[in-house]
Amino acid sequence: MKDFFPKPQLSTAEGLLEKGAAHARRAWRLRMCQCGTCQDERALKVAEAAARAGLSATDAQAASEAGAAPAPTAAVTPVGALLARHILRDGEIVLLTLKPSWWFVILSSLKFISIVLILMLGAIAYEGRHNREWFYIEAAIFLSAGRIMWAVLAWMGRLYVLTDMRVIRLAGVFRVEIFDCALRKIARTNVVVSARERICATGSIEIIPEDETCLPALWQTIDRPHEVHEIVTSAITRSKNHGLGAAA
């Protein structure tokens, strides 16, 4: 039978794109489909990965279920990735890497900018009719822009890492401060949501070590804090039950 609608001949690049799209569709179907065939294939892949990593089937399944949830990750800067590689230990597995939300830049600068605006309005009111309003306005804009630039640098220097052994926080602009605590030595974690963070749908996670001489750490202004907190508490529970992080 004659084909009245022949398929157009694809170029090499178009063929590769078509194969890539088909592979992506298949991977998404295997990941999200709940039929028995796809579930069996996912379980087989988990078992193969567990055999390669030397984990038990239960641990591998738990890690797979934890990874199946859409963890709120963020792009990591090259400097943060380099530092993370240097502070990780042999055999340590990274479970989650996060950066603060972009709201961190605005919220951390809000108090300073408010003070600058109040001083600007007070100076303009005090000067009266000397026609120097633009001088104070330009000064306020300059100071506010400088504070925002500093907040951007602080955002770039912050990185939150959760491994199977430790909780790590990198912070600092010119000097990097590293907080790390073994999961077994964490007393508790809390979700702290301020009024400003509640408006922006963000929040912070407070990490309190068992050692009272160590200051608590804060994963500040992150997206979906409650979901991240569940991942952290799950990793802490697994570490305490399986004895991971004892030497950290």
Residue 87 lies in a domain: no
pLDDT digits (tens, 9 = 90+) for 220-239: 899 998 999 999 999 888 88
In terms of C-beta distances under 8 Å and separation of at least 24 residues, what long-range contacts does 237-241 make, across chains too?
238/59, 238/62, 238/164, 239/164, 239/165, 239/182, 239/183, 239/184, 240/183, 240/184
Residue 126 lies in a domain: yes
Residue 242 lies in a domain: no
**End residue of a domain, out of 114, 136, 154:** 154
Q: Is the pLDDT of residue 144 over 50?
A: yes
Range of the structural domain that residue 135 is part of: 104-154
Number of domains in the chain: 2
**CA–CA distance, 30 with 33 (Å, rounded to integer):** 6
Across-strand partners of 144? none
Predicted pLDDT of residue 32:
54
pTM of the model: 0.60
Quick one: three-class SS letters along 32-86?
HCCCHHHHHHHHHHHHHHHHHHCCCHHHHHHHHHHHHCCCCCCCCCHHHHHHHHH
